[in-house]
Every structure is written in structure tokens, then in C-alpha cells.
Structure 1
Amino acid sequence: MSTPSAPVALAAGDAMPAASVGPITRTDIVRYAGAGGDFNPIHHDEPFAVSLGLPGVFAMGMLQGGALAQRLAAWVGPEHVRTFNLRFTGQVWPGDVLAIEGTVSGVADGIAQLTLTATRQTGDVVLKATASATAAPADS
């Protein structure tokens, strides 16, 4: 998908081109920790995570948030994203594959309202997001 430089035509019901991310690896998690400065041991230290009652290490929410934001920016163009709000609803474990999806819920006054999700291969939604983006008229 090429990144648009002009606003794209968006109408209610339009779908963002679907994508998948993963499988998420421990290396992905550690690299993201380094890039983002999140060195909480629950994300990289297996014995520590298990000592807390977790099945193991898991990805920080912003890793999948970044993947979702990247797809959104590729769809509408980064300079056209007006708002982006995330809500973490589940954990992402090593080996998970995420489906990244989004739809236009409405358009008014040249601004599209978007609903986005990241879903594990199990069907569990791990991230819900809303966004708005500048949109060209759907008939242009």
C-alpha cells in the first residue's frame, strides 16, 4: 500500500485494507523495549513474569498500538491523521499473530471517524482504537 499525500476519499462503511502482524517474537518485544525505553521486566524476564503468576513475558501495549497506527497512517496518510486514541483490552504473547482492521464509522465536514482493532489469532481483541482523519469527498 502506498502512503497517500492528499486526503483520500472515505465514506461510512469503508474498510482499511486488512493486514496481519507477527508472529510476535521475544526479539520484537525486546527491540521495542529498547526503542521505547520500557524496561519493565514483565516484558523481557521470563522467570520474573512467571513469579508474578503470568504465563510468561508479553508485549507492551504500545507495540501493537504502533502497528495499528502505522497501518492507519499508510491508509490515510500520516499528515491527515487528526486524532488517535487507544484502549488496551488484552495481552499479546510471543507467537501471537495480530489482525489489524479498521472501518469508517462516519464522515462529516471533511473529517472521517474511524474505528480500529487489533485481534489475536484466538479472536481476542487486544486493542481498540478510535481515530479521525481528514477525508476527501467520497465522490471525488
Structure 2
Amino acid sequence: MIEPGAELPPLQLPPVSRTTLALYAGASGDHNPIHVDLDVARSTGLDDVFAHGMLSMAYLGRLLTGWVEQDRIRSFRVRFTAVTPVHAVPTCTGRVVAVRDGLATLEVAVSLSDGTVTLLGDATVAVDPR
């Protein structure tokens, strides 16, 4: 039974590599060079490239679909709070905050090993009637 306070099993991802960023750029169609070209990143004052925000959102989607079937997800939204540097190790977490009328509301987040929170959001999922 899904109840308020329940924690989703955390999803820890491998370090974000340059290969991951290149593959994500191709898969998503987001070829913004700030995510894959070190020279472009440095020309803007950054030390290195950083991950696409939507890559982190996709990781949160994996957290959710690892917990419930995809067709039970009713809503999913996030806000970006910090960049995810290349080589960072993201961990996705979630917690049930309310259950009402057959729907569970969750708080979800992506954080890095240094404690930086890069995404905060919420999701609503249908509660399994079993």
C-alpha cells in the first residue's frame, strides 16, 4: 500500500560522461554546444561542459517508471535549480507526500554527491488498486 512518507528506492546513476552527453544530444536533438564542446563552454566562462537539464529529468522519469508502470503516471514536472557538471554522479529520490482519491503525490529530486540539488519536482501517480 502506498502511504504518505513512503520513500522510493533511490536511483544512483553512473558519472555523467562526455559520451553520455554526446549520445543524449543525438537522441534528443538538443545539440547545444555548451553541453558537448569544451571550447564553447570555456568561452562562456565555464570550466567545462554540463549535462542537459532534460537528461536529469529523464533520469527522474526512470526513477518513477522503476516504481510504477508508465501508464500510471498522471503528471510530472520539475524545475532546474543547478547545473550537472560532467563527471557528476546524480542520484534521484522521491517521497510520497499525499494520497487522495486514488492518486499519490510525490516530491522528486536529483542531487549530486556533494549535496547540490539540480532538479526539484513533483509527480502524480495512480495508486495500484490491488
TM-score, with normalisation over the residues of structure 2?
Answer: 0.96
SS at match of 2:87: coil
2-side partners of 1:74 and 1:133: how far apart? 13
Equivalent residues in 2 for 1:50-69, closer than 5 Å: 50-69=42-61
2:94 to 99, 102, 117: 102
Q: Which residue of 2 aligns with 1:26?
A: 18
Aligned-pair identity (%): 37
- In the TM superposition, residue 136 of structure 1 has moved relative to its aligned partner by 3.2
Whichever residue aligns with residue 82 of structure 2, its letter is G
Inter-partner Cα distance in structure 2 for 1:42 and 1:23: 18
Question: What is the rounded CA distance, in whole Å, between the counterparts of 1:41 and 1:73 in structure 2?
Answer: 30
| DSSP 3-state at the match of 2:30 | coil
Are 2:34 and 1:45 aligned? no
1:35 corresponds to which of 27, 30, 38: 27
- Runs of 4+ that moved beyond 3 A: none
* Structure 2 unaligned spans of 5+: none
After superposition, what is the alpha-carbon deviation per residue over 1:62-102, rounded to whole angstroms, capped at 9, x for unaligned? 11110111110110110100000011111111111111110
2:5 aligns to what?
Answer: 13
